């Protein structure tokens, strides 16, 4: 009996480009951001010089996150940034009824991510852990850990892993299981 609910529709296996979370191994974090409250991390093969042109030419792998997540500094035993930081105004600003968390750069999450990216150029994924609840832990080369914690009990999408601009499958985690989505030809 499988611990995961895996749904794969019938398709010609020879035409499918399969996806695996293991594709993140040794990939470098090249960007972290958000669109509204959908958070994302982008990964690519390590580069000597992280210019936008080199990154664009590479295969970009992306995590879209719809549930709780956080970056942990294990040495300091603290959370560097987390998904709930979206709803706090950035440091040094006073709370206001007019605070709009959705304005890029106005919240604690955007501010902390920007600082982390500036201080951690070239960080890559050393190890991946995926538990029976479908939580994901990425152990990074700088000693930090990025965690995605599944908090849904429904079939709602918690997180998704895919290769941008590719016909490769999407690895989708819900509160009920794992779904492999593919693009039919």
Q: What domain range is 110 assigned to?
A: 6-181
Q: DSSP class of residue 17?
A: B
Residue 30 pLDDT: 94
Does some domain include residue 48? yes
Does some domain include residue 86? yes
Rounded to 5 degrees, φ, ψ at 169 are -55, 160
Q: Spell out the per-residue pLDDT of the chain, length 185, in tens.
A: 333 333 433 344 444 456 688 889 999 999 999 999 999 999 998 765 555 555 555 789 999 999 999 999 999 999 999 999 999 988 877 778 888 898 999 899 999 999 999 999 999 999 999 899 999 999 999 999 999 999 999 999 999 999 998 888 899 999 999 888 876 55
Closest-CA residue to 161 (of 129, 144, 136): 136
Does some domain include residue 1? no
Kindly report the pTM of this predicted structure.
0.84
Report the alpha-carbon distance of residue 27 to residue 23 in Å, rounded: 8
Which spans in the chain are helix H? 52-57, 108-119
Q: How many domains does the chain have?
A: 1
């Amino acid at each position: 009996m499988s611990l995961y609910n895996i749904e794969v529709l019938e398709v010609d296996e020879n035409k499918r480009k399969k996806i695996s979370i293991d594709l993140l191994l040794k990939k470098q974090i090249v960007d972290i951001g958000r669109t509204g409250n959908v958070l994302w991390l982008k990964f690519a093969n390590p580069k000597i010089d992280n210019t936008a042109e080199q990154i664009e030419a590479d295969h970009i792998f992306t995590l879209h996150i719809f549930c709780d997540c956080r970056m942990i500094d294990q040495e300091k035993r603290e959370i560097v940034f987390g998904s709930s930081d979206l709803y706090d105004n950035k440091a040094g600003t006073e709370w206001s009824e007019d605070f709009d968390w959705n304005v890029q750069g106005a919240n604690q999450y955007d501010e902390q991510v920007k600082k982390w990216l500036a201080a951690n150029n070239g960080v890559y994924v050393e190890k991946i852990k995926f538990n029976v609840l479908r939580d994901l832990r990425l152990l990074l080369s700088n000693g930090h850990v990025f965690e995605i914690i599944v908090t849904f009990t429904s079939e709602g999408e918690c997180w998704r892993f895919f290769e941008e601009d590719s016909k490769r499958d999407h690895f989708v985690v819900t509160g009920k299981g794992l779904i492999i989505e593919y693009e039919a030809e």
